[in-house]
Amino acid sequence: MLKAAIVGCGKIADAHALQIQRIAGCEIVGVCDSEPLMARQMFERFPIRAHFSDLAELVAAARPDVVHVTTPPESHFKLARFCLEHGCHVYVEKPFTLHAADAAALIALANSRGLKVTVGHDDQFSHVAQRMRRLIASGYLGGTPVHLESHYCYDLGEAYGRVLLGDRHHWVRRLPGKLLHNIISHGIARIAEYLHGDSVEVITQGFVSRQLRRLGETEIVDELRVLMRDDQDTTASFTFSSQLRPTLHQFRVYGPRNSVILDQDHETLLTIPGTGFKSYGDKFFPPMLMAKQHLANLVTNAKIFLARDFHMKSGMKYLIESFYRSVSDGSPVPIPYREILLTANLMDSIFEQLAAKPSSRLADDDRSDRQAAFRRA
């Protein structure tokens, strides 16, 4: 029996508890939150042995094998380090840490203690993401990816937007990448999986959208475009937008022979063959074949639903399950440490460039001035 514990009893902790419950052979032995009421409410709603308001007490009393860190990102490093130092494997919600150096330190600590860590990039373990991974591993692309495109959008929404924009002390504002820091790692991690080496060139453009500027916001960057190139000339582009509709969560991988498109929201995977049809055949057969693929996706999704495995966070279940397996039988961790580190490094680069280029967050007037100057020139 694998003993799990959760530290941080907010919204995402519920998802963890629900998915841990679905995994055979494990038990939640404790939950912890610095706010005792929050720990208690979670304890009352799930089959959990005990609740705590102090992590040291939890670790000492419940003696978990794995601790899930589901607190706001600022505390990830400190809490994960504490758990590793006390002999627990650690699952850290995204973003893994605030800085790549902290990520490297945690991984080094885990390795030195013979423990394991992973990060909550659960989207990469959804049914459709697993299908895509298998397809690419089978050689469908016809070689190393030529280009990757990741869209990870976010609808700020009325409620969250109002809270975040209205609260000058909201914890999201304290993150180096602010709103982006809390959200984009899912989309960046998808790219990191298919980039090579540790040295990736990054060019970033980010700005505060017109809508947010109209609301008086000046520091929350909610439009981000990033270009990347690795040492094997695989390129990637990343788009984050709060304005774009629909709020895309897509990943496209273009290979030298064929390409694939993953749509996370609709759980669909489409293959784009590199070869076409002759003459007018190219106008009629591809749409037909595309319709067939959509139908196949529908059937696949329906089958998974009927098999009771189409939960909204099913990717999290598979990630947790794989991580627990790696803890139990020594198999490799589900997310290679290279990917965790590369994701952290890419995010560091993006936020450093945003911080260094305030011109990328031009207000309307500044932009108009620059455009006028450009026209004069």
Residues forming the site for another protein (CB under 8 A): 9-11, 13-14, 18, 21-22, 35, 37-38, 41-42, 44-45, 159, 162-163, 165-168, 305, 308-311
Q: Could you give the count of Cα atoms lying within 13 Å of 16 in the half-sphere of its Cβ?
A: 30
Nearest Cα residue to 226 out of 332, 113, 349: 349
For the CB of residue 45, give the shortest distance to another protein in the complex, in Å: 4
Cα 274 to Cα 261: distance, rounded to the nearest angstrom: 13
**231 or 265: whose CB is closer to another protein?**
265
Instruction: Tell me how many helices (H) and strands (E) the chain has.
Output: 14, 13
Tell the residue number behind the tokens 């298998």, with chain if given. 134
Could you tell me the smallest distance in angstroms from the CB atom of residue 38 to another protein? 7
Both tokens assigned to 48:
């959990």
**DSSP string for residues in 274-328:** S---STTHHHHHHHHHHHHHHHHHHHHHHHHHHTT---TTHHHHHHHHHHHHHHH
CB of 312 to another protein, least distance (A): 8
Identity of the residue, 149 or 321, whose beta carbon is nearer to another protein in the bound complex? 321
Q: To the nearest whole angstrom, how small is the minimum distance from the Cβ of residue 61 to another protein?
A: 23
CA distance 24 to 28: 12
Comparison of 4 and 9: residue with beta carbon closer to another protein: 9
Distance in angstroms (rounded) separating the CA atoms of residues 22 and 372: 60
DSSP per-residue string spanning 62-123:
H--SEEEE-S-GGGHHHHHHHHHHTT-EEEEPSSS-SSHHHHHHHHHHHHHHT--EEE--GG
Q: How far is the CB of 26 from another protein (least distance, A)?
A: 14
Closer CB to another protein, 10 or 286, in the complex: 10
Nearest to another protein of 86, 170 (CB atom): 170
| Residue (of 271, 241, 249, 247) closest to 259 by Cα position | 271
Nearer to another protein, 304 or 362 (CB): 304
Query: Of 12 and 228, which CB lies nearer to another protein in the complex structure?
Result: 12
Which position has the token pair 């990917």? Answer: 339
C-beta of 9 vs 92, nearer to another protein: 9
For residue 234, the 8-state DSSP code is: -
- In the bound complex, what is the minimum distance in angstroms from residue 35's beta carbon to another protein? 6
Length of the chain: 377
Nearer to another protein, 55 or 195 (CB): 55
Q: Which is nearer to another protein, 168 or 278 (CB)?
A: 168
Q: How far is the CB of 123 from another protein (least distance, A)?
A: 18
- In whole angstroms, how close is the CB of 42 to another protein at the nearest point? 7
Closest CA to 200 of 348, 60, 55: 348
Q: How far is CA 124 from the centre of its chain?
A: 8
CB of 10 to another protein, least distance (A): 5
At residue 219, the 3 state secondary structure works out as coil
The nearest distance, CB 99 to another protein, in angstroms, is: 27
